[in-house]
Amino acid sequence: MKRVLYLAVFLAIAAGFYVYAYPRLSGDGAASAQSATSGQGTQKGSGQGGRSGGGFPTSILAAIAGKQTIPITNTAVGFIEAPQVAVMRTRADGLVVQQNVTEGQMVKTGDVLFKLDDGPIQAVIAKDQALIAKDQATGDAAEAQLSRDQDLFKKQVATQQQIDTDMAATKSAAGTVAMDKAQLRTDQLTLSYMTITAPIDGRVGAVNTSVGNIVHAADTSATGLLTITNMSTLRVSFSIPEVDLDKFRNVLGQKQAAQVQVMVPGDKAPRATGQFSFIDSSVDSSSGTVVVKADVDNSAGKLWPGQYVSAVTQLGAYTDVTTVPLIAVQASDKGSFVFVVGADQKVQKQPVTLVATVNDTAIVGPEIKPGDHVVVEGQLRLAQGSLVKETLQGQAAGVALTQGTGRSKAGKPAGGASTDAGAPSSAPSTPATNS
């Protein structure tokens, strides 16, 4: 019998603890104690997290709508290419007798790279010069004979036939001399091929010959003697979806070239910045993409031809737009909406126009004003007019708090004493991307 009595006392104490102490420890003590001691029944729906607007307030996390300018960007994977690449080949056969270049060397235009044995061609040039002298002497003799016969013709001693023969011999000798001189120029040009110089500034790649090797003009290998690549001005090439073609065409037509930032995976800052300069003349029908390019200044030497990079193109900006965390925007059969916390700590279901999304940020229409408090956590427990207990996630830039009131100057609740110091601060704005 005593055990039954002890059990009844224990259950009574437990019930009293649940009615009076538990609500206070859970943060809702004031409302629950009042309900328990007044003897009045709770309103209909009060046990549903505040959906009817009465009863216990629902704890939510809110953020302040901001006003900012967000860049519009397109990020694509591309690769670096060199617009100036020279594959060096010999233009005449010869033996390499001098090498003035090493692999990886930076060269300037006109620097001597190789010299070939020019002894044979020098001999040919000497022969050409001797032949010119011989044929020139023959031409001089023909002209002298013509002059004598013309004097005799005036005295009616020589015939017209003799004059014609002398004139033909003179012209033939002059033609022979001209042909000899042309051959001399050809051989002198071949002599110039014995010295191989750099046609552009750049970096030397692999050297595929050395002193003692015989090189041939007929060699058309892809590597040649060596390759020189201009490293100071490179180009980034990448593909964009066909749907973004008009955006890039509009940017290309502007007076000021669009900026393209080049980044390598793992970089926190761009390695180089270039200017958008080219759109391919056709769309690849198999992939629905278009190749575009940008010229990049690589004077710092941080990029390499053939390297895969990320190209971030600046396509404009959303200027002075209202932004909210993307998680605050909810979807319904009637469109997008957000819950806005009013001055009376009740929420209003506000339809919004979703202009664009930027990572975890949403750009919304004029339905939301900078400084409005929007719910970012706890929306599933809310309805129109629900009473809430607000914890503020962060403050929008430019919205000052009125000291001592816990209200913003725009008349919206700023969280006051209920602000959670451990709540994450709002992230900085990030560029809009079409990638």
- Tens of pLDDT, residue by residue over 306-349, are 999 999 999 888 899 999 999 999 999 989 999 999 999 999 99
What's the pLDDT band for 432 if we cut at 50, 70, 90? Answer: low
Q: Give me the CATH topology for the region 58-68+319-433.
A: 2.40.420
Res. 273: pLDDT tops 70: yes
Q: 118-193 domain in CATH 1.10.287?
A: yes
In the chain, which residues fall in CATH 1.10.287?
Answer: 118-193
Tokens 């056969």 belong to which residue? 93
**pLDDT higher than threshold 80 for residue 299:** yes
Q: Helices 160-192 and 119-154 sit at what angle, rounded to 10 degrees?
A: 160
Contact of 323 with 429, CB cutoff 8 Å:
yes
Percent with pLDDT over 90 in the chain = 63
User: Is the separation of the CB atoms in 430 and 362 below 8 Å?
Assistant: no
More confident: 433 or 126: 126
Give, in order, the Cα–Cα distances in Å from 272 to each of 79, 115, 260, 263, 415: 13, 38, 9, 7, 44
Give the number of other CB atoms < 10 A from CB of residue 182.
11
**pLDDT confidence of residue 431:** 52
What would the mean pLDDT of 247-251 be, rounded to a whole number? 91
Band of the pLDDT at 41, cuts 50, 70, 90?
Answer: very low
Please report the pLDDT score of residue 264 as a whole number: 93
- Using DSSP's 3-state secondary structure scheme, residue 88 falls into strand
pLDDT of residue 14: 74
Domain with CATH 2.40.420.20 in the chain: 58-68+319-433
Greatest mean pLDDT among 122-126, 267-271, 411-415 lies in 122-126
Confidence band of 257 (pLDDT split at 50, 70, 90): confident
C-alpha 208/C-alpha 90 separation (Å) is 12
Residue 404 in this model has a pLDDT that exceeds 50:
no
pLDDT tens for each residue of 193-246? 999 999 999 999 999 999 999 999 999 888 899 999 999 999 999 999 999 999
Cβ–Cβ under 8 Å, residues 403 and 367:
no
DSSP per-residue letters across 285-327: TTTTEEEEEEEEE-TT----TT-EEEEEEEEEEEEEEEEEEGG
What is the average pLDDT value for the chain, to the nearest integer? 83
List, for residues 161-205, the tens digit of each pLDDT value.
988 998 999 999 999 999 999 999 999 999 999 999 999 999 999
